[in-house]
Amino acid sequence: MGLTWKERAFTALLGAAAVSGLTTLILFLVEATNVLLPADTKFGIVFDAGSSHTSLFVYQWLANKENDTGVVSQALACQAKGPGISSYASDPAQAGESLQGCLEEALALIPKAKHQQTPMFLGATAGMRLLSQKNSSQAEDVFAAVSRVLSQSPVDFWGAELLAGQDEGALGWVTINYVLGLLVKYSFSGEWIRPLEGTLVGALDMGGASTQITFVPGGPILDNTTQATFRLYGTEHSVYTHSYLCFGRDEMLNRLLGGLVQSSPGLLVRHPCYHSGYRGTLALAPLYGSPCVQAAAPRDLGQNLTVEGTGNPGACVAAIRGLFNFSSCDGRGDCAFDRVYQPPVRGQFYVEASSPGQDRWLRDYCASGLYILTLLLEGYGFSQETWGGIEFRKQAGGTDVGWTLGYMLNLTSLIPAEAPAPWRAQSYGVWVAGVVFLVLTLMAILGATAVQLWLRD
């Protein structure tokens, strides 16, 4: 039996409503897709040439200036094979070659069409600072070799430079506060707001050859050599920052061993920070090759040193305290150690401590842990009340909390002087499409219901 004319009319109306609804939905979804397409994405590459190793970081951000705040993200982190570039002083060409593997990873990640527009920098820290002090000619050769390799890449190489200790600390402070959204953030009411000054966090960095502390003190900074000033998003920030060369983990261990060698007769050293039962040999020449080891060297550096562990925590702490000059700050409340001015620590701190993670460093874990404890409590002046404000983090929000992001932001002027204009949500088109679809669906249902009632009559 065929359909009546009323049933055919109902089917036609229902089909027309469905086609109309789907067509409109598709058109709105196409428009929404266009709205959601990201603006031109840009990339930046930074090499962190540290004392113990070199790391590469790739950052990406939207080119739209209104989106500069809070949209920079870490796209790649790569650790180059081998030691830091300062270790290649006798063979500079290898310093450049050691960066090739990570550079190739970065180039594979970044679209080829973006290569020429991608800035790339290399910043060298305490390892190269020490090499520059020891042999400036060798340091220049290493920088030349690194620059030669990186300048041959298809990206826009902006150069390799020696980063001052104060800059390393201050840029690390910018990184962590930027990543945590503490410099400026976008509110639900559609306005840019600046968090209260007291919410800014301090930055502590424990590297291989140096350590840095940076924070906003509770009062004026009385020594302008320890002050760094930034104008970010229309607000001026003044921070205390200081870098201690030769107080990083690796150089601390060298200085500790050098002092034990000096106080031991012959070439047998009993090390209180090594576990009982440990016995090993090492060459003397590399130990005394560091400018940080001030102890008098034995006459014959070609000999090997035998080290035995005694596992004595009390003696270990005493030996570590001997690396600091705490007595130079007696009676001064604004002094850390070695006569260095420092106001009292204030607020929450994020610590980035490098960790080699290799079995050969297991012997040094006890010494490293007690050293960090001594530095934080007796050196920087943290107490039982302020200790809880320290967080040990390697990353925040998926981004490494070192100096590299702050360095890139600074050199590429990604941080504008004033807060950008309010940003309109790009998801607007999706909401509109959803609302229209619901309205059309409701209209189709109501229409179908009306027709069914009509058919019953």
What is d(CA 351, CA 382) in angstroms, rounded to the nearest whole number?
Answer: 13
Rounded to an integer, what distance in angstroms lies between the CA atom of residue 413 and that of residue 423? 20
Residue located via tokens 């020696």: 162
Q: In 3D, which of 122, 134, 116, 118 has the Cα closest to residue 61?
A: 118
Separation between Cα atoms, residue 276 and residue 254, nearest integer Å: 20
Given 7, 66, 104, 168, which residue is catalytic?
Answer: 168
Please give the full DSSP string across 258-271, using - where no structure is assigned.
HHHHHTSSTTEEEE
Q: Are 403 and 350 in contact (CB under 8 A)?
A: no
Give me the half-sphere count of Cα atoms (radius 13 Å) on the Cβ side of residue 243: 23
Find, among 245, 235, 17, the residue nearest to 134 by Cα: 245
- Report the Cα–Cα distance between both ends of the chain, in Å, rounded: 20
- Residue 308 appears among annotated catalytic residues: no
76-79, long-range: CB within 8 Å, 24+ apart, which pairs? 76/105, 76/106, 76/109, 77/400, 78/102, 78/105, 78/106, 79/53, 79/54, 79/55
Residue 97, CA distances (Å) to 91, 149, 159 in order: 11, 7, 16
Where in the sequence numbering do the catalytic residues fall? 168
